[in-house]
Amino acid sequence: MKIAIINEISAADKNADILSALEGWGHQIFNLGNTSRNDTPGLLYIHTGLMSALLLNLKAVDFVVGGCGTGQGFLNAVMQYPGVFCGHLLTPLDAFLFARINAGNCVSLPLNQGYGWAGEVNLRQIFENLFTPQAGAGYPTQRAEPQRRGRELLAQVSQATHLKMAEILLRLPEEVYHPAITYTAFRPVLEEAARGFPDMQASLDKLA
Amino acid sequence: MKIAIINEISAADKNADILSALEGWGHQIFNLGNTSRNDTPGLLYIHTGLMSALLLNLKAVDFVVGGCGTGQGFLNAVMQYPGVFCGHLLTPLDAFLFARINAGNCVSLPLNQGYGWAGEVNLRQIFENLFTPQAGAGYPTQRAEPQRRGRELLAQVSQATHLKMAEILLRLPEEVYHPAITYTAFRPVLEEAARGFPDMQASLDKLA
Amino acid sequence: MKIAIINEISAADKNADILSALEGWGHQIFNLGNTSRNDTPGLLYIHTGLMSALLLNLKAVDFVVGGCGTGQGFLNAVMQYPGVFCGHLLTPLDAFLFARINAGNCVSLPLNQGYGWAGEVNLRQIFENLFTPQAGAGYPTQRAEPQRRGRELLAQVSQATHLKMAEILLRLPEEVYHPAITYTAFRPVLEEAARGFPDMQASLDKLA
Amino acid sequence: MKIAIINEISAADKNADILSALEGWGHQIFNLGNTSRNDTPGLLYIHTGLMSALLLNLKAVDFVVGGCGTGQGFLNAVMQYPGVFCGHLLTPLDAFLFARINAGNCVSLPLNQGYGWAGEVNLRQIFENLFTPQAGAGYPTQRAEPQRRGRELLAQVSQATHLKMAEILLRLPEEVYHPAITYTAFRPVLEEAARGFPDMQASLDKLA
C-alpha cells in the first residue's frame, strides 16, 4: 500500500514515531511534510490538508496519515476537498471500526493532546488495525451491505458538493496553496503525479 | 444559543440523554432527527449530515449536535458541505480545546461505541466545555491570533472548494436528499429558514 | 494459562463477551462468578474481590479477570488481600504496558462505564496484549531490570503488610465471606484448591 | 481539605501541573514528593506508596494525589496498606463516579502514558469532579445506600486483612522504608503527624 505521512510543524517531533510505527508491514511510505521542529517553512494544517487532498485526488498514494495537536484541525482542513474520507482515530478499536465500516483513505491523529510516553506503541496498534485486509468488510459483518451502500452514497455526495480539484486550486488564497505546493519534499511527488492529469497540470502551471 | 440535535436511527435511543444534557443552560433546542428506535423513516448519517448542513447554511441554528455509532460516519457526511466545521469529541478536554482553538459549529459524538453507563454525565461535561464564552479565545491564549487566522483561512477554503448549497441540493442523489428534506420534524424548520434564501427556496421547490 | 473470570452481578451481562474474547488462545478458563443478570445470589465487588484473592493465593489459577461498573470497586476490593497485583485496564496500550512493566496477576475491567458497542472487540485486543510471552520483559526494554526489582519489592511489601489468607478468612465479616465461599460455581474449585493448603482448609472448615 | 501531592521521580516534571491544577479551590496542599527530575533521591512508586499510606493512616491529610508513568505502579504500591482506597482516574467522568460511588482517599494518575499537551487542563477537570461536596452521594443517587454499605464493608475488610501500620513499618525491607521516611520534604510532616500515634512514634524511633 502507498501511504503518505504529512505532518504539520506543531507535531513534527512525532514524525519519527509515525514512520517507525509504519515499518515492517511492506507499505511504501512517502514522508512529505515536516519531519522536524526546525523545518522551514513550518506547515500549518491548512497546508497539510491541501497537500493530502492533492495526493489522494492525483492517486499518488492510497492513504494519507496526517494529524495535528488535537487532530481536529487537520481533520477539518483535509475534509474541505473532494474524495477525502478521514477518520479521527485515537485507539486501536477506533481503527478497527473505521477500517471495516468507513474504509476511508485518510486518518487525522491527535499528536500532542494525549500523546505521551509509549505513544508510538499506540500508533503501531492503530495502524495494525487500520491497514487490514478486512477494510470495508463491515462491522458487524451482517451490516456489511448497508455500510457499503453508505460509503458509495458518501462518495457521490462528495463529487456533488465540491468543485474539481483543478478549479479549486485556482480559487484558494495564496497563503494556503503556496507553502503547500512548493514544499521541498512534496513538490517532486506532486509534479510527477500531476503528469497524468492535464487539468491539474494546467492549474499548477498557472500558479507557478 | 440555538442548537439543533440531529440523531440518526442507530443512536436514536441516546437522543433523550443529549436532550437532558443540554438542559438548564438557557439554550434554545431544536430536536429535529430521530428520537426513538421506532421512528420512520430511520435516518442514516448520509441524511443527518445533509440536514445539519442545511440548518447551518440557512442560519436556522448556531450549532448542530450530531453523531452516529462511532462518530466517524456523521463527521464525514456533514463535512462534505460548505461552511461546516465539525469536531469529533469524546471527552470534556476535547470539547475544551475544540471550543477555544477551532470554534466550529458542529459536533459528531460517538453514541454507541464507548457509550455506556453514565454516558449522559460525560455528554453534560462535554457540552459544559463546548458551549463557553471562551469559544475562539485560543489555547494556550498566546496562540489566539494564529489560531484565529487558521479559522479564517479554513472558512475561505470551505467557500473555495464547494458549490453553493442551492446548487448542491440539485446535484444530490434522491436517496440522499429526499428522506432528509421531507422528515416530519425537520421540514417545517427547513421551510421557515429557507424563506430568507430565495435560491434555496427555488431549489427546494424544484425537488418538491 | 489458567484464567478465572469472576463477574459481579452489575456486569454479569458482559460475562459472555469476556468469555468469547478469551477464546482461541488455548487458555484454560474458569468461569466462576455471576454469568447472567438473574443469577442468585448477585455477587458484589466485596465478594468477587475475596473470591479472586482466594483463587490466586491457593494457586488455583494464574490470573483473574474481574471488574465492575467502573472497575474501581473490584480493584479496591481485590487489592485488600496479599499476593494480588491488579491492573485497571481500558485499552490495548494499558494492557501492553501493564504486562511488560507490572506483570500482575489480575485485571479489573470497567464493564458498564464506557462499555458500549464493539466492547467485545476492545476486550479481545486487551487480552491479546495482556497475555503475552513478553510479560515482565520491561518497557522500554532497557528498563527491564529496575522494573523487575520493583515487582520483587512489591511482592515483599505485600507479604509484610498483610495477614495470611487463612487468618484473614476468620476475621472477615460474614456478609463478606459467606456469599463468596458458598457460591455454587465457585465452591467446588475452592475446595479442590484448598486441599493443598491445610491452614486454609482448617479455616474453611471453621466457617462451614 | 488537606491534600498531599506525592510524585515519584519518573513524573516529577508533572508536579507543577498538579500543583497548579489544585490551586484556587481553597485546599491546603502538602507537596511532599519529588518536584523536579533532578531531585535526590529519586523516589520510586514503592516509596511514594508507603509515604502516602503513612500520611493517610496518621491522618496528616485527607487525600493523597499520587501517580506514576501509567498509574498502575503507584496504585498497586499504595493499595498494599490498610485504610487506603485509591482510584485510577483518567477523565473527569472517572473522577465524578469515583467521588460519588467509591469516595476514596487517594488517586493514582497516569502522568507519562497519555499525558500530553493540555494535560494540566485535564487534571483540573479531574480535580473539579473529584473534590466535590457530592462525595459519597452515590451514582445514580437511588443506589446511594448499597454503595455506602459497600464502602463500609470495604473499610472493615481493609482492617481485617492488614497488620497495623506500626507493625508494618518494622517488617518492610530497608530499601523500601528508608528513602521514604527520610525524604527531606516529607520527614518533618511525618514526625509532626506521628506525635499523636505513640505506636507509630515507637516504630519510627526504632528505624532511625
Tens digits of per-residue pLDDT, B5-57? 999 999 999 999 999 999 999 999 999 999 999 999 999 999 999 999 999 99
CA distance from start to end of chain B: 31
Chain D within 8 Å of C94 (Cβ-Cβ)? yes
pLDDT at position D111, please? Answer: 98
pLDDT at position D91, please? Answer: 98
**Burial (0-12, 13-18, 19+ Cβ within 10 Å), D26:** exposed
At the top level of CATH, which class does the domain B2-207 belong to? alpha beta
* DSSP states of A56-115: HHTTS-SEEEEEESSSHHHHHHHTTSTT--EEE--SHHHHHHIIIII--SEEEEESSBT-
**A119, closest residue in chain C (CA to CA):** C93
Residue A71: which pLDDT band, with cuts at 50, 70 and 90?
A: very high
C-alpha dihedral (A133, A136, A141, A147), degrees to nearest 10: 180
Residues in chain B: 208
> Is a pLDDT exceeding 90 seen at residue C208?
no
pLDDT at position A208, please? Answer: 84
Mean per-residue pLDDT for D68-93?
A: 98
Whose cell is 471550543? That residue is: B99
User: What's the mean per-residue pLDDT of chain B?
Assistant: 98
> Using a CB-CB distance cutoff of 8 angstroms, which residues of chain B are in contact with residue C110?
116
> What SS3 state is found at D184?
coil
Q: What is the ipTM of this complex?
A: 0.98
Q: What percent of chain A has pLDDT over 70?
A: 100
CA–CA separation, D203 and B132 (whole Å):
54
Whose cell is 484541525? That residue is: A73
Q: What percent of chain A has pLDDT over 90?
A: 100
Of A89, A61, A92, nearest to A74 (Cα)? A89
Rounded to a whole number of angstroms, the distance from the CA of D59 to the nearest CA of chain A is 34
Q: Which bin fits D109, alpha (ψ -120 to 50), beta or left (φ > 0)?
A: beta
Residue D66: which pLDDT band, with cuts at 50, 70 and 90?
A: very high
Mean per-residue pLDDT for A65-84?
A: 98
The shortest CB-CB distance from C92 to any of A92, A97, A139 is to A92
- Return the partners of chain B (3 or more C-beta pairs < 8 Å): A, C, D
CA distance from start to end of chain D: 31
Residue D86: which pLDDT band, with cuts at 50, 70 and 90?
A: very high
Rounded to a whole number of angstroms, the distance from the CA of A113 to the nearest CA of chain B is 9
Residues 6+ apart with CB under 8 A from C94: C87, C88, C126, D70, D72, D113
The shortest CB-CB distance from B139 to any of D97, D118, D139 is to D118
User: What's the mean per-residue pLDDT of chain D?
Assistant: 98
pLDDT digits (tens, 9 = 90+) for B146-198: 999 999 999 999 999 999 999 999 999 999 999 999 999 999 999 999 999 99
> Using a CB-CB distance cutoff of 8 angstroms, which residues of chain A are in contact with residue C121?
93, 96-97, 139
pLDDT at position A192, please? Answer: 98
Q: Which bin fits B162, alpha (ψ -120 to 50), beta or left (φ > 0)?
A: beta
Q: What is the residue extent of each domain of chain D?
A: 2-207
Cβ atoms A100, A148 nearer than 8 A: no
Residues 6+ apart with CB under 8 A from A123: A17, A18, A21, A109
User: What's the mean per-residue pLDDT of chain A?
Assistant: 98
> Using a CB-CB distance cutoff of 8 angstroms, which residues of chain C are in contact with residue D101?
69-70, 72-73
pLDDT at position C85, please? Answer: 98
CB contact under 8 A, A76 and B79: yes
> Is a pLDDT exceeding 90 seen at residue D208?
no
Cβ atoms B27, B2 nearer than 8 A: yes
pLDDT digits (tens, 9 = 90+) for A112-167: 999 999 999 999 999 999 999 999 999 999 999 999 999 999 999 999 999 999 99
DSSP state of A191: H
The shortest CB-CB distance from A121 to any of C96, C118, C125 is to C96
CA–CA separation, D79 and D100 (whole Å):
20
Rounded to a whole number of angstroms, the distance from the CA of D18 to the nearest CA of chain C is 22
Rounded to a whole number of angstroms, the distance from the CA of B119 to the nearest CA of chain D is 9
> Using a CB-CB distance cutoff of 8 angstroms, which residues of chain D are in contact with residue C88?
71-72, 75, 88
Burial A79-90 (b: 16+ CB within 10 A, else e): bbbbebbbbbbb
pLDDT digits (tens, 9 = 90+) for A76-115: 999 999 999 999 999 999 999 999 999 999 999 999 999 9
pLDDT at position B208, please? Answer: 84
> Is a pLDDT exceeding 90 seen at residue A27?
yes
pLDDT digits (tens, 9 = 90+) for C131-182: 999 999 999 999 999 999 999 999 999 999 999 999 999 999 999 999 999 9
pLDDT digits (tens, 9 = 90+) for D109-168: 999 999 999 999 999 999 999 999 999 999 999 999 999 999 999 999 999 999 999 999
pLDDT digits (tens, 9 = 90+) for C172-196: 999 999 999 999 999 999 999 999 9
Whole-Å CA distances, D44 to A79, B148, C142: 46, 44, 17
